[in-house]
Structure 1
Amino acid sequence: MAETTADVDTGYELVELYGGAMKVLIPKGFANMGTPSGHLNDKPKFESIYPIPDNQEVFRSTSTKTNIIIELVERLEPGSYTLPEEVAAQLETSSDTNKEELSAVLYHLHDMCTSNGDTYEILDLPKPYPVQLIPSPAYTCQALVTAKGKISDTQRLLNMLSDSTQQATSTSTSTSTGTAGTTGTTITTPITEHESTSTCHFFLVRLAQYGTDILVYINVPHDMLEESGVPGAVAQEEMRAHDIMANMMRSLGIIDYSLFGG
């Protein structure tokens, strides 16, 4: 898992991923969720505080719920997936002619959201954006993700290291006793479903020759920021997420390509 090797940029640390096979700049003040202590410079985990799959690296801000997920998955090939019509229709407004690549970006985002039961709205359509240290096609995208009436896997990760939260339910049942001679009456009262939103800043690197897609999600949940009462807290954290993405895209590098089976 992740291990810090150097302090390269003010506010960031160069972190080794996947046992040193990759590297990237991670903001200082982010916890490594793959180690018991959460420190960026810890050795690979023996017992994680979150059951992180071997194909993921996860980091989380210790001051906000903003988190970074890096994931290695099998490359999406044309014809191996079907993009929902309403999502595919949005590509018609894109000026980029490489619709197959852009479709793969949207499908990864769609799959991430719908697998957790969340809904989403695309804020920025996918567009090419080069990763400086990897000579492969890369793309960015941004979406507003909404979780309603439950805590999804995504939201559970966002809430880690915070006060525990109760899972929202759709109804509440209470029993009251009527006047003398009447039996207790069960009243079912609907409860407004809790709705939480987050912004997902997403980029994808496509390694065609290794059959791999590198996914990077920077998730900015809004609830704690909105409840803080600090003016402009959400906008400030969104600007920080853009800075994180820019630093990750200029620093993400592959040291050992055998990680992908090559």
Structure 2
Amino acid sequence: FESRDVTAGLPESLARPHGASRGSPLEHRLVALTNEFFQRPASSRFPPRRTNCKLPPVTPKYGSKMPYRCTPLYGGALVCDLPDNFADVSKLRQVPDNQEVWIDKDGFTSIIFDITERVGGPGSGPEIDGRAMTMHLEDMVGTDIDSVKIWNTAETEFTRLEFKPPAYTLIATQTPKVGHSRGQSSAPDFTAIIMTLLRLEQYKTDILITINVPHIKGEYDEGDVDLELGKQGKLMGNAVEYSASIWESLKIKDFSLFGEP
């Protein structure tokens, strides 16, 4: 795995630090969207150690032949199955202690785990959790409001967690504004975003799991992607599989990672 810019192919807003403004049109749009969804019926203190996983390997899903491996995160406090062809970015450059960043060795897709302070009021519900998703997404995309389109939201279950905390996933795309690129050949036509929010209210913690999928001209078949018609294409389809693997395999081994409840 050659050292390279792990943010290549990502919009600048996805590569820069958190800290976006609030009360924007995007916030209002997302709150309305998540309100509608929730009203539907229910259907720097991290140890530098690595521990062995005992989870069984995940078999390929959706007919793919993609191998997975049990992967320790945050010194083994969390474990989950990640694609075998993803590399730990912390071996190449410094990564914040509250993050785990993994990138496809053969492409530009990245998987980011981010442990953050819980946002919003106590409890769970349309207004509280909807606004939390909004705030986290706005922190990620920054002020590029009009470049983001939300395609889907869904309630999410982490099947290996003994308790059942609230969790939600959204799928969005971010398209660079016309004439607003970094002047690089690797600038994407658009970036697909699959963001899962796992809420640990007892520990005043939100866990964000974000998969960024830059679609760079020549690196994907444009005819296979039409989200209006439900055509995700190979890159996004793979990302959905990565997400499902995480939902099915994530296990919390050491709750002291989140501090005192």
Q: Do both share a fold (TM > 0.5)? A: yes
1:8 partner letter = P
Q: Secondary structure of 2:142's match?
A: helix
- Aligned CA distance change for structure 1 residues 33 and 211 (closer, same or farther; 3 Å): same
Deviations 1:165-215 (A, max 9, x none): 7499xxxxxxxxxxxxxxxxxxxxxxxxx7641000110100000000000
Q: Residues 124-158 of structure 1: CA distance to partner in whole angstroms, max 9, x if unpaired? A: 13x3211112321111111101344244xxxxxxx
Contact 1:130/1:138 (8 A) holds in 2: yes
**Corresponding residue for 1:86?**
none
Structure of greater relative contact order (alpha carbons < 8 Å, 6+ residues apart): 2
CA distance in 1, matches of 2:95, 2:144: 16
Structure 2 letter corresponding to 1:29: N
TM-score normalised according to structure 1 size:
0.65
Matches within 5 A, 1:129-168: 129-134=156-161, 135=163, 136-148=165-177, 149-151=180-182, 166=184
1:243: which partner in 2? 241
> Which residue in 1 is equivalent to 2:193?
200
After superposition, the CA RMSD in angstroms is: 2.9
1:113 matched to 2:108? The reply is no
Contact 1:2 1:16 in 2 (8 A): no
CA-to-aligned-CA distance 1:24-71 (integer Å, 9 cap, x gap)? 111011111111xxxxxxxxxxxxx23311100001111221110000
Between Structure 1 and Structure 2, whose CA radius of gyration is higher?
1
Residue pairs, 1:31-46, within 5 angstroms:
31-35=87-91
Report the alpha carbon displacement of residue 118 of structure 1 after superposing the two structures with TM.
8.5
Is 1:3–1:15's contact at 8 Å kept on the other side of the alignment? no
Change (3 A) 1:61 1:116: farther
Residues 102 and 244 from structure 1, CA distance in 2 versus in 1: closer, same or farther, beyond 3 angstroms? same
Question: How many percent of aligned residue pairs carry the same amino acid?
Answer: 32
Report if aligned partners of 2:101, 2:113 keep a CA contact under 8 Å in 1: yes
Say if 2:120 and 2:129, in contact at 8 Å, map to a contact too.
Answer: no
AA in 1 matched with 2:209:
V
- Alignment of 1:227 onto 2:232: no
Matched, 1:12 2:68: yes
Alpha carbons 2:120, 2:131 under 8 Å: kept: no
Question: Aligned in 2, Cα 1:118/1:66: closer, same or farther, shift over 3 Å?
Answer: farther
Q: Which amino acid aligns with 1:222?
A: H
d(CA) in 2 for partners of 1:207 and 1:112? 20
**Paired residues, what number?**
192
**Matched residue, 1:73:** 116
- Unaligned stretches of 5+ residues in structure 1: 36-48, 80-95, 152-164, 169-193
Per-residue deviation at 1:252?
Answer: 1.1
Hey, which bits of structure 1, 4+ residues long, moved more than 3 A?
A: 1-7, 115-119, 165-168, 228-234
